[in-house]
């Protein structure tokens, strides 16, 4: 049963609708910004739109390392059979690998990279840890869509994330273009909270990570948000980075082109926003989907990425 004091109620018998956000978008800084922090102009754009797109953020040699690691993981038969591997509905093709910052030493090093960490800490005004990480794959011709959703709605209801004090970071490992199902975001949608209908079943993640049907916005709410802000698709070369607010409405279409689309996804959560019990009254989702045990702040790693000796 959802508590009436919960400012972000959803899936608890309420009708669908839109509520105003109750939390800051950019939090007051506890420390001076790091050397890789966003400029005031970039930060203002993030506050206004709910995301910022940073083209050519990583150099080509580092991107090649990161893409090579993704290809290694896809080719690893044992890894493809692990609980962290999520397959497409009706297929054994891998849709996502979760907990990649622990499965891969290279991705673990990347998650703590000062170039990313300085921005996450600047936005959230706190030290951060990795709430979730994953590698999202969309092979040519067969990559399936991710329907519109606010991550925070799921993280709040199913994981127990108290407030909107998390930021997602996507690193483009391949070019994202208009043909291969790029990330789409609704500017300004982060200022609204969309209440979703339906009840959350036990072990909902087993189906929702393949295809989400519960915890998705209704058509009227989506139409309102798009009428207010439009739709943007940050398209660009491999090595570009998108930071977006945990409540920004986003999704992506299927990939009908021959061009694969692979993106890394890190969620940074403020240590002061550590998870509590899920508000839906169900057991927490597994650790590989949402960090429930170790909220130790990440420590900045500096210098270029280097190959990992195996």
State the pLDDT at residue 207.
59
Confidence band, pLDDT 50/70/90 cuts, at residue 14? confident
The reported pTM is 0.94
The answer to whether 53 touches 32, Cβ cutoff 8 Å, is no
Angstrom CA distances, 106 to 38, 68, 282, 306, stand at 24, 11, 34, 8
Tell me the CB-side half-sphere exposure of residue 108, using CA atoms within 13 A.
Answer: 6
State the pLDDT at residue 1.
42
Give the Cα separation of 128 and 230 in Å (integer): 31
Residue 301, burial from CB neighbour count under 10 angstroms (0-12, 13-18, 19+): middle
The answer to whether 139 touches 255, Cβ cutoff 8 Å, is yes
Q: Report pLDDT digits (tens) over 238-256.
A: 999 999 999 999 999 998 9
Averaged pLDDT, 271-291? 90
3-state secondary structure 15-79: CCEEEECCCCCCCCCCCCCCCCCCCHHHHHHHHHHCEEEECCCCCHHHHHHHHHHHHHHHHCHHH
Which percentage of the chain shows pLDDT scores above 90? 75
Q: Report pLDDT digits (tens) over 108-148.
A: 999 999 999 999 999 999 999 999 999 999 888 888 888 99
What are the boundaries of each domain within the chain? 18-24+48-273
Q: What is the CATH number of domain 18-24+48-273?
A: 2.60.120.620
């Amino acid at each position: 049963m959802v508590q009436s004091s919960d400012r972000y109620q959803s899936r608890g018998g309420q009708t669908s609708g839109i509520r105003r956000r109750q939390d800051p978008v950019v939090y007051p800084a506890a420390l001076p910004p790091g050397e890789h922090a966003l400029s005031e102009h970039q930060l203002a754009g993030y506050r206004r739109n709910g995301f910022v797109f940073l083209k050519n953020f990583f150099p080509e040699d580092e991107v090649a390392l990161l893409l090579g690691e993704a290809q290694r993981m896809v080719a690893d038969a044992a890894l493809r059979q692990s609980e962290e591997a999520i397959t497409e509905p009706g297929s054994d093709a891998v849709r996502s690998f979760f907990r990649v910052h622990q499965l891969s030493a290279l991705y673990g090093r990347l998650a703590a990279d000062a170039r990313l960490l300085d921005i996450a800490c600047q936005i959230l005004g706190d030290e951060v840890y990795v709430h979730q990480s994953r590698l999202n794959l969309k092979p040519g011709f067969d990559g399936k869509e991710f329907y519109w959703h606010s991550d925070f709605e799921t993280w709040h209801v199913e994981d127990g994330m108290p407030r909107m004090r998390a930021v997602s970071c996507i690193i483009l490992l391949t070019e994202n273009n208009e043909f291969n199902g790029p990330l789409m975001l609704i500017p300004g949608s982060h200022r609204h909270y969309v209440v979703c209908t339906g009840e959350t079943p036990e072990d909902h993640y087993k189906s929702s990570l393949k295809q989400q049907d519960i915890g998705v916005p209704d058509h009227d709410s989506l139409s309102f948000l798009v009428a207010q802000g439009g739709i943007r698709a940050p398209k660009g070369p491999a090595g570009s980075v998108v930071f977006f607010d945990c409540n920004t409405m986003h999704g992506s279409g299927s990939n009908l082109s021959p061009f694969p689309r692979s993106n890394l996804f890190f969620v940074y959560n403020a240590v002061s926003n550590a998870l509590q019990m899920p508000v839906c009254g169900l057991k927490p989702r597994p650790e590989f989907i949402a960090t429930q045990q170790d909220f130790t702040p990440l420590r900045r790693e500096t210098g270029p990425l280097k190959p990992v000796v195996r």
